[in-house]
Amino acid sequence: MKKAVALVLMLVMVLALAACGGGETGVETGNDGTSITIFNSKMEIQSQMEEMAKKYTAEKGVKVEVYYSSDTVAAHMSTRYASNEPYAIAMVDAKDIYSLGPEHAVDLSDQQWVADTTQAITVDGKVLGFPVCIEARGIIYNGEAIRAIVPDFDPTAVKTTEEFQAVIDALIDGGMETPTGVMKEDWSLAAHFLAEVYEMHADPDAFIAGIKDGSIQLAEDDIYNAMMDTFDVLKDNNYAKASAISAEREVTEQMLAEGELAFMFGGNWDWSVINAYNYSDDMGMMPVPNDLGDGSSDKLVGGGSKYFYVDNGVSEEQQQAAKDFLNWLVYDEEGQSFLVEECALVPAYSNITLEVADPLGASVKAYTDADALIGNYNYLPDDHYAKVGASFQKYLAGQIDRAGLADEITAYWATAEVGAH
Amino acid sequence: MKQNTLSYKIRQYLMFAGPGTVLFLAVVIVPFLYGLYLTLTSWDGVSATKPFVGFENFAAAFQDSAYWSAMGRTVIYSVFAVVLINIVAFALAYLVTQGIKGQNFFRAGFFVPNLIGGIVLGYVWKFVFNRAFVALFSGTSLLSTTNGAMFCLILVSVWQYAGYMMLIYVAGFMSVSGEVREAAMIDGCTSGQAMMHVTIPLMRSSFVQCIFLSITRCFVVYDVNLSLTKGEPFGSSVMAAMHVYNQAFTYKNYGLGQAEALILFVVCAIVGVTQVMLGKKGEVEA
């Protein structure tokens, strides 16, 4: 008897363990049996994505599930691959397409949308990345606040650092003591602002190679100096000048939205923060002014941002459903409206003509349509923003000067390698 | 039934300790060994191939100056934090065992910070340092200076852990019977002498526990570090654990990160175990 009881107990335990171990998730299926999972890495559109998934599931009979993670994209994808549960469609950053794509992404070269965008990512002759939207960087301005003091302010007329300084001086004279804000975040300083220095060079690869082998002295580089001149104007008129490196992004953006500040370097994604406040409708983006005189201050910097790829680890049917979904986004009216109107993204497809609702996105769309974008350089190493960002923060805090920053950036590049492309 | 046969012993073991053993193997030993294996590869954390590189990662870890400065910072932080946590905790425990009015309320109150997760706590204090203090004293934020950020980290850790350690010290105080102390006083000790020579030696095991817990927690601090300073300003408050995380997941050097994590584990284990061994040696009983 005792033996039997012991045996039963053992069995129960083993079963319980087996139940814990066998975590094969049975994904529910839609009407025709296909279901796809989508990984969303844009936090600000998660609720719209979930809403869309419900509608899409109901209308198309393909069950769509949307997931979000606050982890870094690479870290999250690595855990998914480690547990052997790939998403059918994953939204990643451009650099991740280069690192993950060749191994995991389906070749999308035969898709119709490839012809309608200039931003798709091609690796080894195969189109792997579907651009979700266009994002661009520049100076965000609050037109209402500026025109209250400088009535004839025209963002397209501010081309040089001197002209920029003149507007700021006029604002200060008019009572706005500190017209600028500077985001101290390492990604803003290094991955967004400093990256423009690389991107404004005709051949960023050659420029970085030159820094690496010492044939280019960064401290004497014209573009670096021109951009840093403008950065100095932003830095010197910063509302949080005394504690620039503890300024909080939300506070800065709130002040900009509500007109206490006139200018901040940023990108159209900042709208998701600005629209949380009592913002002015008269806002927009303008290129970073500089004294190069080469036309670069007529252009925003940016391009495709966030890319979808279809995973080759899911079944044929799921891959097809995933491709259908991408086509739906580009060619179906509902898909277009989802992208542009609900998510307020700037579409990367020339056939989409819907108006972008948010003012920053509208600026980006205008520059995109005018072909006035300097392209992204997507191959900076993963630790670039953190390490160079730390150096840039020292500059912002006044601990090192411009030459010191150039030295630290050069030192960083001595050991760093750009991503394969 | 015979109780000394091997099969009986094995069955008994499996029945009582089997599930625990399996779980322990599954969630501690196997991942640990697998992690050990990963330190020998140059895996990036995502790719399907894990190229074997031998001990290269350890060589790289020893040459990673950022790692060692993070480690040095962690040691400095831990020394200050451990000393302060224990002094404050001991003082609080002393105060709330004196029979003052509402001492249970105070005990609960001091313990509460420990119930708030490190992430939330970091954000709360960030607000205090960045906004409240700045508004009150109209200075610059402590978090924007390198020493200030470290100071803030230590302060918040002390605030977080002192209440927890206090509970252990309270238990220590309660375990020392009043008679011993009274006897010492009758023999002519002042109350300070009675504390130094009678109560504290008898509470030695509480000290050993508290110091061990605070050392091990401080060495691997991550959550408060992330939410309070995020390693800023300019990477000057990156602790060892945060560096390891960045190395493995952000910079995608999983093998190297894993090797650095292992070194951190070894350092932490050596310090912790040495401290416990030294502490246990001199334990006395009444």
Residue A264 clears pLDDT 80, i.e. is over it = yes
Q: Is B44 on the interface with A (CB under 8 A)?
A: yes
Give B134's pLDDT tier (boundaries 50, 70, 90). Answer: confident
Which pair of structure tokens corresponds to residue A118? Answer: 């200039």
A347-359 residue pLDDT tens: 999 888 888 888 9
Is A199 in the same domain as A292?
Answer: yes
Residue B47 clears pLDDT 90, i.e. is over it = no
Asked whether residue A193 is assigned to any structural domain, the reply reads: yes
Is A172 in the same domain as A228?
Answer: yes
Residue A27 clears pLDDT 50, i.e. is over it = no
Q: Is A18 on the interface with B (CB under 8 A)?
A: no
Is A225 in the same domain as A326?
Answer: no
Which residues from chain A sit within 8 angstroms of residue B45, using beta carbons?
74-75, 78
Mean pLDDT over all residues of chain A?
A: 87
Is B142:B148 a contact under the CB 8 Å cutoff? yes
Is A279 in the same domain as A269?
Answer: yes
Identify the CA nearest to B43 among candidates B249, B243, B245.
B249
Is A86 in the same domain as A235?
Answer: no
End-to-end CA distance of chain A: 70
Identify the CA nearest to A265 among candidates A314, A302, A295, A293.
A302
| Distance from the Cα of residue B161 to its chain's centroid | 9
Tell me, what's the pLDDT at B136?
Answer: 83
Is A228 in the same domain as A239?
Answer: yes
Is A129:A308 a contact under the CB 8 Å cutoff? yes
Asked whether residue A8 is assigned to any structural domain, the reply reads: no
Residue A80 clears pLDDT 90, i.e. is over it = no
B62-89 residue pLDDT tens: 988 889 999 999 999 999 999 999 999 9
Is A51 in the same domain as A128?
Answer: yes
Q: Is A103 on the interface with B (CB under 8 A)?
A: yes
Asked whether residue A6 is assigned to any structural domain, the reply reads: no
- Helices first, then strands: H and E counts in chain A: 17, 10
Residue B187 gets which letter from DSSP?
Answer: T
Residue B125 clears pLDDT 60, i.e. is over it = yes
Asked whether residue A63 is assigned to any structural domain, the reply reads: yes
Is A279 in the same domain as A297?
Answer: yes
Which residues from chain B sit within 8 angstroms of residue A242, using beta carbons?
140
Asked whether residue A56 is assigned to any structural domain, the reply reads: yes
Q: Is A41 on the interface with B (CB under 8 A)?
A: no
Beta-sheet pairing, A180-181 with A121-123: unpaired
Tell me, what's the pLDDT at A248?
Answer: 86
Residues 323-382 of A with CB under 8 A from B: 381-382
What is the number of structural domains in chain A? 2
Alpha helices, H only, B96-203:
103-115, 118-127, 133-137, 146-175, 178-186, 191-194, 200-202
Is A384:A371 a contact under the CB 8 Å cutoff? no
d(CA A332, CA A210): 47
Residue A23 clears pLDDT 80, i.e. is over it = no
Among chain B residues, CA nearest to A416: B251
Interchain contact, A72 vs B233, CB within 8 Å: no
CATH of the domain at A390: 3.40.190.10
Domain range for A107: 28-134+303-368
What CATH class does B64-281 carry? mainly alpha
Give A207's pLDDT tier (boundaries 50, 70, 90). Answer: very high
- Which range is most confident: A44-48, A129-133, B252-256? A129-133
Distance (Å) from the C-alpha of residue B200 to the closest C-alpha of chain A?
A: 43
Residue A16 clears pLDDT 60, i.e. is over it = no
Asked whether residue A21 is assigned to any structural domain, the reply reads: no
Give A392's pLDDT tier (boundaries 50, 70, 90). Answer: very high
Which residues from chain A sit within 8 angstroms of residue B18, using beta carbons?
10, 13
Asked whether residue A310 is assigned to any structural domain, the reply reads: yes
Q: Is B232 on the interface with A (CB under 8 A)?
A: yes
Residues 83-102 of A with CB under 8 A from B: 99-100
Mean pLDDT over all residues of chain B?
A: 88
The interaxial angle of helices B254-281 and B56-63, nearest 10 deg, is 70
Residue A240 clears pLDDT 90, i.e. is over it = no
Tell me, what's the pLDDT at A181?
Answer: 93
B243-278 residue pLDDT tens: 999 888 888 888 999 999 999 999 999 999 998 888
Residue B17 clears pLDDT 80, i.e. is over it = yes
Tell me, what's the pLDDT at A6?
Answer: 63
Query: What are the residues whose beta carbons fall under 8 Å from the beta carbon of A63, sequence distance 6 or more?
Result: A27, A28, A29, A30, A34, A35, A36, A57
d(CA A128, CA A348): 15
Look up residue B165 and give its amino acid: M
Asked whether residue A38 is assigned to any structural domain, the reply reads: yes
